[in-house]
């Protein structure tokens, strides 16, 4: 039994949930910002900030771990060559979330924009 372990399921199985966050993280790394629902943005923040902290170490082991978690070598390379150096002096708080005014059509879900704090435009 898994007592006191609380994670949001997003009405998906574990593999589908992991794939969702990997794809959202890839989009965030490639584009600098992603528009999604507020609960997904809050969960994505935790996933991405751990990756950026890992990429800041700049060791072979950390690079391999980032590539393994993102499952894409090109995106991982962009993370540790372009994005991680921007946050060398920052201890966490690499992303910001804006709540968007309009809600999603269909179910009325609250939308949010997640972006890197210091992303080059």
Which CATH number do you get for residue 80? Answer: 3.90.1030.10
pLDDT of residue 3: 86
Q: Structural domain tally of the chain? A: 1
Instruction: State the Cα–Cα distance between residues 34 and 32, nearest whole angstrom.
Output: 7
Mean pLDDT of all residues belonging to the chain: 94
Q: Per the domain annotation, does 71 fall within a domain?
A: yes
Instruction: State the Cα–Cα distance between residues 3 and 77, nearest whole angstrom.
Output: 38
Whether residue 112 contacts residue 36, with contact meaning beta carbons closer than 8 Å, is answered with yes
What range does the domain containing 32 cover?
14-116
Q: Per the domain annotation, does 93 fall within a domain?
A: yes
pLDDT in tens, 11-22: 999 999 999 999
Q: Per the domain annotation, does 95 fall within a domain?
A: yes
Roughly how many angstroms between the first and final C-alpha of the chain, as a whole number? 47
Residue 121, pLDDT > 70, answer no
Q: Per the domain annotation, does 9 fall within a domain?
A: no
Q: Per the domain annotation, does 2 fall within a domain?
A: no
pLDDT in tens, 99-111: 999 998 889 999 9
Q: Per the domain annotation, does 6 fall within a domain?
A: no
């Amino acid at each position: 039994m898994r007592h006191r372990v609380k994670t949001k399921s997003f009405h998906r199985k574990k593999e589908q949930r992991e794939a969702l966050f990997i794809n959202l993280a890839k989009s965030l790394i490639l584009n600098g910002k992603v528009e999604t629902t507020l609960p997904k943005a809050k969960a994505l923040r935790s996933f991405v900030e751990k990756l950026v902290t890992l990429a800041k170490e700049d060791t072979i082991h950390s690079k391999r771990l980032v590539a393994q978690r993102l499952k894409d070598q090109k995106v991982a390379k962009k993370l540790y060559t372009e994005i991680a150096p921007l946050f060398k002096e920052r201890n966490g708080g690499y992303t910001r979330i804006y709540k968007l005014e309009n809600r999603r059509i269909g179910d009325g879900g609250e939308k949010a924009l997640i972006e890197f704090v210091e992303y080059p435009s």
